Amino acid sequence: MEKNAELQYKLEQFLYDNASHCDKKNWDLYLNDFDENMIFHVPQWKSEHEYTTDPKRQMSLIYYPNRGGLEDRVFRVETEKSSSAYPLPRTLHQISNIRIVKIENDEIHVEAGWDTSYVRMEIANRFFGQVNYRIKASEQGFKITYKQVILLNDKINAVLDFYHI
């Protein structure tokens, strides 16, 4: 039991750090939290209670099949080559109810709740939902291999980007 409590604590700290890297726009540290072969997926809702599950065949709000897609997006944000992201919002990511669901092979399956408040051009708003992670331990610490974000308030009147979730 003590080992699970220690693992739980370390995972929580890792996820809090990842959120903080995003809030502080420390993109190198943020990207370093992700494995090279990670998948980042924000499915679209098909109905009131069912979302898409296959990002290659169904609509997604965001889908990066590896870290390269996320790196490209970060590059566009950093260099202000993305007019939709300029000016960048101030964000506060909050993660809660972090639970280890299972450990399979070398991956830890984690579920959590999340809420991001943000301010852009003096307008405050928020996104919230659930998130499913697969995380593996490496010599450098943990790496996210899979991040699926279930956006619960998907009727949005603003731009949605990786830094919101």
- pLDDT tens digit sequence for 67-97: 999 999 899 888 876 666 678 889 999 999 9
Percentage of the chain lying above the pLDDT 70 cut: 94
Dist. CA 111–CA 133, nearest whole Å: 6
pLDDT at 82: 67
Q: DSSP letters of 37-98?
A: EEEEEEEPEEETTEE---TTTS-EEEEESSHHHHHHHHHHHHTT--GGG-SPPEEEEEEEEE
pLDDT of residue 154: 75
The pLDDT of residue 145 is 98
What band does 1 get if pLDDT is binned at 50, 70 and 90?
very low
Number of domains into which the chain is organized: 1
**8 A C-beta contact, residue 52 and residue 59:** yes
**Stronger pLDDT, 114 or 76, i.e. the higher one:** 114
Stretch among 47-56, 83-92, 95-104 having the lowest mean pLDDT: 83-92
Whole-number mean pLDDT of the chain?
90
How distant, in Å, are the alpha carbons of 15, 83, 95, 96, 101 from that of 111? 11, 33, 10, 9, 7
Least confident stretch, 9-18, 57-66, 116-125, 144-153? 116-125
pLDDT surpasses 90 at 136? yes
pLDDT band of residue 138 (cuts 50, 70, 90) is confident
106: CATH = 3.10.450.50
Tell me, yes or no, if the pTM score tops 0.75: yes
Specify the residue for token string 């943020």. 30
pLDDT for residue 78? 85
Give the domain extent around 103: 2-164
**Does residue 122 have a pLDDT over 60?**
yes
Average pLDDT over residues 142-163: 87
